[in-house]
Each structure stands twice: as structure tokens, then as C-alpha cells.
Structure 1
């Protein structure tokens, strides 16, 4: 598998941030370990896509990768060794080869060891053990990438879900109230374990909001279509309407028409730092499945004296 993040996600180097996000989400959904238990290849694709997305979604990291300053894992690329060779030959360099430093080998060996230690990567710390010539390393754990489908109402009202990890464990994810589709949550310390006493990595969870059969989200507003009867539209009525917080009673005005919209202030999504949106209710007059003789006869009589043409915007008497 290629280690080039653009090739891993299947996008061009000129791809926009939105194209990169869509490519990652597609691969994450197709290859998630929960959908392919025991499939090592799918798990590898999932992890590779997560690592590629983590690098490319950060404009600064992406630019540094494009310039060749860091590799696909985000590690610094070693500088040209000729710099260190030239430095080693300077007269005032204390590490310059000479009789006093015969035990260290030549300068290139010294700086080869220096480069090896420098290549320890992001988050590593080097510490010399007391009284010994060896070195120990502490390394921060790897970050983990997950994709999580969130039910519509959990995204609107907040909640808590669990992810089943490849190793069989669980990871609890708290869903913020009013979270938007495509949001990536960072769970500090929930990634891979550290090494040598290093801190654990973080977990990044990208959320995908599942559609709802009744509710539609438009910004922070919630929209629904509410079916009403012919007589409720003619006479007006109080009927029950669903909201994301539970059912409420709404008033259908006398003479309501299909397509007419009622607004419930503050009944929409309440995200942190923003006022709650509204709920919009679009009325739909639904005729009975069968029009019986009594209704037909009444409408014939009524139409003879109250004929009107809504397509012309006016009423015409017979």
C-alpha cells in the first residue's frame, strides 16, 4: 500500500479540503473494522486513510509535506548529511576527529548516530540513564482514527455512543448537542499506548449523521411535513406535531392550505454558543383513501354556489 497520503485517499495533489474530507469519509465507511470483522486488509485501509486524512486536513502539515519537510507520517525528514560533515571538519568544532576523540570513531559515524537519535520522531524524548552509556526513549502513542454513525436525534439533542474497537474493547464517545454532520471529535489520551512511559495518543472520531424519516435539519432549524385532514384544513383544529424534544399541540388555522407553514420558535437545534433554531411545519392536506357518495354529493352542491379557481387566484360564483 502506498504511503503517499494523496494516493491513499485517491485524490489529486490539488484536491480541495472538502474533496479530501469526502474521500476519507467514503473509505472510512467502506473499510470500518465493525463492518469487516477479522479482515486485516480492510482494517489496514481504514487506518491508512485515517493517517492520511490527519495529515492533509491540517493546512500547515499539508504544506510542509508538499515541500518535502515532513514525511507521510508527519515526521521531520533528515537534513542533508553534508551539512554535518562540513560542520565536523571545522577547526573549532569540539567533535572534530582528532587524538582526543579516537574512541568516538570518525566524524561521519558520530553524526550518523546523531541523525539516528534525531529520527526518533514527534513526541519522543531522549534521556541518558545515570551511570551508563546507553540511552532510553519515551514515545507518545499513535493517534487513532474512527468513523461513527450518529442517529439524527442524538446529534440534535446530544448523547453518548460506544465504538467497538478492533481489539474487542469499547470507547465511549460523548456527542455534543447540535453537532453537525462531518464533525471530527478529538478524544485526548484515547489513542494508542505510549512507549517507555510516554503519553498515549489521541482518538479522532468523524461523525456521520443518519437521516431521519420525519425531521430534516436546515442550519439550526428543523423542518417537517405534517399531514392534516380535509375537515381540519376547512374548520381549523388542534393537532399533535412531533418535535426533536417530543410531541406538542399546534393550532391549524381555519381554511389552511397545503404548503402553508407554521413556525414553532426555539424548537429547533440548540448548539453551544448559538441561540436555538425554530421548527417549521409545512401542512399537507391528505384526502381520504376513498371519496364516498356523501362527500361527493356535498362537494357538487357546494361547488355550484362557491366555485373558485385557485390557479387564477380568485373565486368565481356559478
Structure 2
């Protein structure tokens, strides 16, 4: 039975933190998820391996046992799985005894322990962890949480701004959720009890939905602030005046000062993005004036511009 290097499967070092393991798992789970790779048996197998690795490395107790036993796995194979806890190779396994296996931490090898049918864990996993529950035949009877499912939901910038109800289909099941205004790209929403079924009466897993806020050509979002380009005619930039602007929060009227230069920024307080989970609080909206030069000038207009240039002392 082959030893499984869970760290290698997730692409992390053995010194990886819990957050690094979580990040690596989410990335690989999205990449190899069956919903993303329909009818791809290779991706399906990889998805199972990634989930198995995360099942162990994300649980401090399982990770400790894996780190403790995993390094001695090859020595175990050479020593044998004698019921006395000391194999023909002379290696004493009694130091690892957890009960129910005569001192052999891998007592499930050879057909002893296994998880419930449909868990999609390898024989290595089942033998290493399933045999430590102390139940009949080495079967674990301890409750365990179900597998977490991963999904993604795309939102336009306007949908992220306003929030509201959305429906997502996961594992053939339609789920309705409420998006709170102000969500960010990459933010994850957890729906408890919507993941895989629990083991031995344990709780169901969760559904982790990663939100993908699509880019919007009209706006640049920086945290809770927005920047928006506003086209302004040359004449209004020179002489000043009022102008209406369409924003995510509706139509606003702005005053443009005379002789406003191209690129001038106006700040509208509280007209930016909603602050997530803080009702009534908003970022700021920055309007960047984009002065438009007149096109297709008539002969009369050209003459007037020449006269203006002469008044300003410029030779054309």
C-alpha cells in the first residue's frame, strides 16, 4: 500500500501554516472540481486526493498523527505488521499505541479498518485513521464533519454594490442566498450544513462560495472608494458650469469650476461603495474630469479659435 505525501499533494512545505494549507486547498479544489471538469476522471481523482490531504492537514490532531507515523511508514513495511507491535525488522511500534490494535498504529493494513462506503478516502487514509477509533474490526465510530463543498458565484459591480437575493446550483441542488451590499472580489461566504453529509452522526459540511466581482469599464474600485472618469466639454472646462453624472447610487449634479484642467479630481463623500456589513456607511466617489476637444471644426470655428489665440499672444 503506497504512502501518500499529503504535503506534496497540496504543494506545500511540511512547515506550512494552517492558513497556507487552507489557501492551497481552495486553489486546487476549484481547479479540479467535478463541476469545472465534467467527465474528467483524472481531475476527479485529483479532487479526491486534494480533499483527503486537506482532511488530514487541516485537522491539528490528524496532522500530528500523520507527521508522527508518516515518517516511519517505510520502516513499518519492512518490519511487518505483527500483532505484538514488534515486527521481524525489530522496530517497536508500541510507542505509538492508541488502543485496540496491539500497539500497531497501522493495524488496519491488510483489510482491517475502513471508513463508511462513499467517503472517497484512500486505503492509506482509512488504515491510518480509521483503525484508531477502537471500534469493532477497527472501524471508527467517532462522529466526523462532512466534506466542505466549493463553488464560485460571479457578480457584476452593480450587483456587489446593491446586494440582494441570488440562486446558485451546487451538486444539482438550487440554493438561495442573500448577498450583502459591499462584498469584495475573492470574498468567501459560508453556508453551513450545505456540504457533504457527516459521518457517524456528525454535522454536515459547509458550502464555501467564493464571490467573483467582474470588472466594470466605468469604475476603478479601491477598497470602498470608487474612481470614475467624467467626460467634460472644453467649453465647460474653461467657463465652468454644472453637469449631471450617472453613478451606481443614481444621478448626481456636480459643479465644475472655471478653467478646470484635464484630470482634475472631484471628491464626493459618501458616494462610493457600501462598507460591508456596516449599514449606512459608504466610501467616497472620485470623479476625474476628462476634457474633450471639439471635433470636425467648421471654418468659422477655426477662425474664432485663431482670434482667441491671437488675444492670448500665440502665433498659429
What TM-score range do you get, normalising by the shorter chain? 0.5 to 0.7
Q: CA deviation at 1:295?
A: 2.3
Give the aligned partner of residue 67 of structure 2: 68
1:282 is aligned to 2:294:
no
Give the aligned partner of residue 256 of structure 1: 260
- Which deviates more, 10-19 or 253-262? 10-19
Give the aligned partner of residue 40 of structure 2: 39
How far apart, CA to CA, are the structure 1 residues paired with 2:47 and 2:96?
A: 39
Counterparts in 2 of 1:116 and 1:23: CA distance versus 1, 3 Å: closer
User: Taking structure 2 as the reference length, what is the TM-score of the superposition?
Assistant: 0.66
1:220 is aligned to 2:224:
yes
Give 1:304's match in structure 2, choosing from 296, 301, 310.
Answer: 310
Give the aligned partner of residue 159 of structure 2: 154
Contact 2:56 2:66 in 1 (8 A): no
Q: CA deviation at 1:174?
A: 3.1
Counterparts in 2 of 1:43 and 1:205: CA distance versus 1, 3 Å: farther
State the secondary structure of the residue aligned to 1:263: strand
Contact 1:32 1:147 in 2 (8 A): no
Q: CA deviation at 1:5?
A: 5.1
In structure 2, stretches of 5+ residues that fail to align are 71-84, 86-91, 115-127
Contact 1:64 1:70 in 2 (8 A): no
How far apart, CA to CA, are the structure 1 residues paired with 2:284 and 2:131?
A: 50
RMSD: 4.7
State the secondary structure of the residue aligned to 1:285: strand
In structure 1, stretches of 5+ residues that fail to align are 72-78, 89-94, 96-105, 129-133, 309-316
Please list, as runs of the form range in 1=range in 2, the aligned pairs for 1:152-231 lying within 5 A after superposition.
152-165=157-170, 167-231=171-235
User: Taking structure 1 as the reference length, what is the TM-score of the superposition?
Assistant: 0.65
Contact 1:50 1:144 in 2 (8 A): no
- Which deviates more, 14-23 or 181-190? 14-23
Contact 1:9 1:24 in 2 (8 A): yes
Q: CA deviation at 1:219?
A: 1.8
State the secondary structure of the residue aligned to 1:216: strand
1:119 is aligned to 2:114:
no
Q: CA deviation at 1:264?
A: 0.9
How far apart, CA to CA, are the structure 2 residues paired with 1:112 and 1:289?
A: 84
State the secondary structure of the residue aligned to 1:68: helix
Q: CA deviation at 1:107?
A: 5.1
Residue by residue, what CA displacement relative to the aligned partner does 1:174-233 show, whole Å, maximum 9, x if unpaired? Answer: 333222222222211110122444321111222232211111111211111111111221
How far apart, CA to CA, are the structure 2 residues paired with 1:18 and 1:136?
A: 29
Give the aligned partner of residue 117 of structure 2: none
1:293 is aligned to 2:299:
yes
